[in-house]
């Protein structure tokens, strides 16, 4: 009796994956890539966790999945037909994690591939785990489908369990924005950073710092309170810091890093990001005004009557330069002036000579 019960249980757990006509999932590997936050270094955690998953319904995916991590499931899919049995075309895998995204499902597809009888293929399906996910166990459904040349469909399906865990203390810098990140003549910019509590504990001694020695930036906010992400709204578990920055005009052109540091208990560094500010030389686009020229001859505008009446009534303006030296009256006037000067000189000389006697 016990043997019959064991066989029945085996058929329920294993048969759907292993006895699917034409397609079979023969291996599953799980890999988790964590955020770069210092949280994981403090807790002596590697950035990658991996493990093999038994191919059976109800199996737990035995890796530590944390909020904001990236989960990759690698499947080995085999065409179980042999000999002259059909090739399977357009084979692909679909993985669905139910209700993990604020009550909504996450679904991802693999690439398409073809399988000849007896051959297998490894494919990756990647999932970004939401940062605001709740800790708990989520149903994970794996489906593989394909068809032969006669468009006969083949498929297999597997149900797994995915557990999402939370660390007790897990604070992170989740957004950094420097705008503009390149400045020249207008040397003003703004830095915005967002810190989030992704852990299971309430935090009330969090500090967020902006620091750059070259730019003279040293801004430190401390004793920040962040609610637990399991219980709080999105606004209550976040803190946003904004700093308006004005760079001195004498600062040389170059790239200047600004460090954004996040501290637990106001002094234990948990996360760090860097924003690079590019400073360029100010090159004015205003063209210099031409200098006014002096000492030029007078310019007179003349409008001849004949031309003014021509061209069907259109007005024609002619600009002509006239010099006084070229006028006919200039010669007599000049000679008369010379004669007057000579006569005046003779009269003065005669008067002086008479008075001397």
- pLDDT of 152-194, one tens digit each? 999 999 999 999 999 888 899 999 999 999 999 999 999 999 9
- The answer for residues whose C-beta is within 8 angstroms of residue 288's C-beta and 6 or more apart is none
pLDDT confidence band for 46 (50 / 70 / 90):
low
How many Å apart are CA 330 and CA 309, to the nearest integer? Answer: 33
Matching fold, domains 2-164 and 171-279: yes
For residue 301, pLDDT beyond 50: no
pLDDT confidence band for 341 (50 / 70 / 90):
confident
Instruction: Name, of 14-18, 44-48, 195-199, 217-221, the range with top average pLDDT.
Output: 217-221
Q: What is the pLDDT of residue 232?
A: 78
CA-to-CA separations, 171 to 133, 198, 205, 274, 304, in angstroms, rounded: 14, 6, 11, 17, 89
DSSP state of 273: E
For residue 346, pLDDT beyond 90: no
| CATH H-level superfamily of 171-279 | Immunoglobulins (2.60.40.10)
Q: What is the pTM of this model?
A: 0.67
What percent of the chain has pLDDT above 90?
Answer: 56
For residue 210, pLDDT beyond 90: yes
* Mean pLDDT calculated for residue range 132-140: 94
| Residue pair 67/27 in contact by the 8 Å Cβ criterion | no
For residue 134, pLDDT beyond 70: yes
| CATH H-level superfamily of 2-164 | Immunoglobulins (2.60.40.10)
Higher pLDDT, 174 or 341: 174
Residue among 35, 204, 209 at smallest CA distance from 128: 35
The three-class DSSP label of residue 180 is coil
Q: What is the pLDDT of residue 288?
A: 53
How many Å apart are CA 145 and CA 269, to the nearest integer? Answer: 48
- The answer for residues whose C-beta is within 8 angstroms of residue 318's C-beta and 6 or more apart is 301, 302, 303, 304, 307
Instruction: Name, of 33-47, 254-268, 333-347, the range with top average pLDDT.
Output: 254-268
Average pLDDT, whole number, for the chain?
81
Residue among 265, 2, 230 at smallest CA distance from 133: 230
* Mean pLDDT calculated for residue range 271-287: 86
pLDDT confidence band for 228 (50 / 70 / 90):
confident
pLDDT confidence band for 344 (50 / 70 / 90):
confident
How many Å apart are CA 29 and CA 77, to the nearest integer? Answer: 12
| Residue pair 81/118 in contact by the 8 Å Cβ criterion | yes
Q: What is the pLDDT of residue 86?
A: 80
Checking DSSP bridges between strand 59-65 and strand 153-164, what pairing results, if any? parallel
| Residue pair 187/287 in contact by the 8 Å Cβ criterion | no
Could you state, in order of their start, the residue ranges of all structural domains in the chain?
2-164, 171-279
* Mean pLDDT calculated for residue range 2-6: 51
Higher pLDDT, 168 or 357: 168
């Amino acid at each position: 009796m016990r043997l019959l019960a064991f066989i029945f249980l085996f058929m329920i757990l294993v048969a759907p994956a292993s006895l699917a006509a034409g397609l079979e999932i023969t291996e599953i590997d799980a890999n988790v890539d964590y955020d770069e936050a210092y949280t994981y270094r403090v807790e002596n955690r590697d950035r990658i966790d991996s493990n093999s998953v038994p191919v059976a319904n109800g199996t737990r995916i035995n890796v530590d999945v944390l909020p904001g991590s990236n989960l990759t499931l690698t499947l080995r899919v085999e065409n179980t037909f042999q000999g002259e049995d059909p090739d399977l075309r357009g084979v692909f895998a679909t993985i669905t994690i139910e209700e993990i995204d604020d009550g909504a499902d996450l679904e991802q597809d693999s690439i398409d591939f073809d399988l000849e009888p007896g051959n297998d293929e490894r494919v990756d399906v990647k999932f970004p785990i939401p940062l605001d996910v709740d800790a708990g166990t989520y149903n994970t459904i794996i489906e593989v489908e394909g068809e032969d040349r006669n468009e006969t469909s083949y498929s297999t399906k597997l149900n797994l369990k995915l557990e999402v865990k939370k660390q007790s203390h897990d604070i992170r810098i989740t957004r950094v924005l420097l705008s503009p990140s390149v400045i020249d003549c207008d040397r003003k910019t703004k830095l915005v950073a967002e810190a989030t509590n992704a852990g299971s504990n309430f935090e009330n001694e969090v500090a967020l710092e902006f620091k750059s020695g070259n730019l003279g930036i040293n801004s430190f906010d401390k004793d920040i309170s962040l609610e637990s992400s399991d219980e709080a709204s999105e606004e209550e578990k976040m803190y946003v810091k904004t700093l308006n920055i004005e760079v001195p005009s004498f600062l040389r052109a170059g790239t200047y890093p600004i460090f954004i540091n996040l501290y637990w208990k106001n002094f234990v560094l948990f996360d760090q990001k860097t924003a690079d500010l590019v400073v360029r030389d100010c090159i004015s686009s205003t063209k210099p005004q031409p200098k006014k020229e002096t000492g030029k001859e007078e310019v007179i505008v003349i409008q001849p009557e004949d031309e003014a009446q021509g061209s069907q009534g259109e007005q024609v303006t002619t600009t002509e330069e006239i010099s006084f030296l070229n006028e006919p009256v200039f010669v007599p006037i000049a000679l008369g002036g010379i004669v007057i000067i000579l006569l005046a000189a003779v009269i003065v000389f005669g008067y002086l000579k008479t008075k001397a006697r």
